[in-house]
Structure 1
Amino acid sequence: MHKLRLRSDGILGYTLIIPIIFLVFVIIGMPFFNALYLSFTDKVVGADPQFIGLNNYIEILSNSDYWKVLWNTFIYMIAGVGLKLLIGTILALVVNEKFFGRSVVRMLLLIPWALSGMVAAITWKWMYDDTYGIINSMLMSTGLIDLPIPWLSGTNIALVSVIIVNIWRGVPFFIFSILGGLQTIDHQMYEAARIDGASWLRQFWAITLPSIMPVIKVATLLSAIWTFNDFENIFLITGGGPLHASAVISTYTYEVAFMQRELGKALSVAGSVIPLLVIMIIFSTKKLHNDD
């Protein structure tokens, strides 16, 4: 009787989630499979698609611009996520301490995350301007530079410029994620460590870091996915230029689709990184599961 009741409850549970599964498939699944199919066609704006097999993938893989953009994407993700994690962890440790005005500081640190992406991008674009930008103006007034730095037009620095903005916007996510983990640590552990004569650094490595590591891993995984697929920040600030110096997969896909009007090829660009994202997610989730 008990087994029958458990079986009926299981059937009821699966029945109740069927509408959700169907809705997710309609909203996400169907467009995804349609886009995947179109990546194997010669689809262009205003014409019916014709199946051409792997031609699009062969063409993009033999294009040096694609490899440059893919390299930029990994630099953008690794540098951005790594520095956001480092800075976010340090600031989380700071605002976790008690000091006057702590609530105000926490509120100010949240502003970059809460600010509209378009407003933030346009503001930074103005700040980076070679002629009127406040960054070059301040650096020149202090004597640190003699000539304006081409933040947005220099092929060697454009990618760095958008990485800085990505870090500025993403640090608050790490701060408050890690801060939540810090506040769950039992303070008696620190008191016992101090009694044993453990230094602040020793307490951090032995107590703090292991305690917040699950939070760090989840936050890093989410940030890596978001950063890898970032579009708005780069498109509004540099447009991926100059000469694809700051272009990533998302902006390059947009360029091929809406400027070159080759939708099939653009979807093959997007589809080419799906295995990389899947591998990254599977590896990360397995790592989290094994650690738990």
Structure 2
Amino acid sequence: MTIQWFPGHMAKARREISEKLKYVDIVFELVDARLPLSSRNPMLDQLLQQKPRLILINKADLADTQQIKLWEKYFAEKGFYTQAINAQENKSVKIIHTKAKEALKEKIARDQAKGLKPRAIRVMVIGIPNVGKSTLMNRLVGKKIAQTGNKPGVTKGQQWLRSGKDLELLDTPGILWPRFEDQEIGKKLALTGAIKDQLLHLDDIAIYGLEFFARYYPAALQKRYHLSEDDLLLSGPALLIKVTEKLGFKEDYERGSERVIYDVRQGKLGGYTLDRYEEMSALDDEK
């Protein structure tokens, strides 16, 4: 299965991002804590160049805590300011304001030395679809002003929003890269909901998810679907058949696939991280 998704509004957003970078002081790049590396758009490094950046590792409540710590360290070593957050929580707002000032402390000091009047920090908020940008925007602004949805492609335009006295935010649509050179990344994005389900073979994605949990979080898989240790040794398709039976869906494997994907996305199997730091960081460093 080859996964591709690059709607027209995403190409437009890429152009607009490039045009409007000059108006902002810093970029907030949201990534998904369940796939901190795979949910980064590699095209952004070229677009953003030397613009100060704060990487916000969102949906931390759904991810593996130990893996989050490792990825925070990874991004810090790359020279980025970084912070794990849960955009659903109010406490994230104060943390983000503090981190933004920290990332721009040198610029703020230069402006003060020049006698310039302090102004709000201008921020571009960016990230792939379904990473939680609109939820974060609403939390920062303090009211529902950005449209949200647990599906990709909700935000289609750009808008400036105010967050207290400290931040002015430029929202942008989520953009994926035009093609996935690594189909493994495509499967990860599909499993977490960054790609529209209508474009996928759900059984393939469910099998991928089951194989992953059987390898890295077997106890969670056993508990959720009442599996034996021998069941975990089954091939992916056979494991989907077994889980479908355990769910009482008989031979309705499409329904079984939908349930598995739903459970994974909603954290019903506990916190997990698809991008394993010990594996992916080494591969990324080789590029």
Whether TM exceeds 0.5 here: the answer is no
Smaller-chain TM-score bracket? under 0.3
Structure (1 or 2) with the greater strand fraction: 2
Larger Rg: 1
The structure with higher relative contact order (CA 8 Å, sep 6+) is 1
TM-score, with length taken from structure 1 = 0.24
TM-score, with length taken from structure 2 = 0.24
Structure (1 or 2) with the greater helix fraction: 1
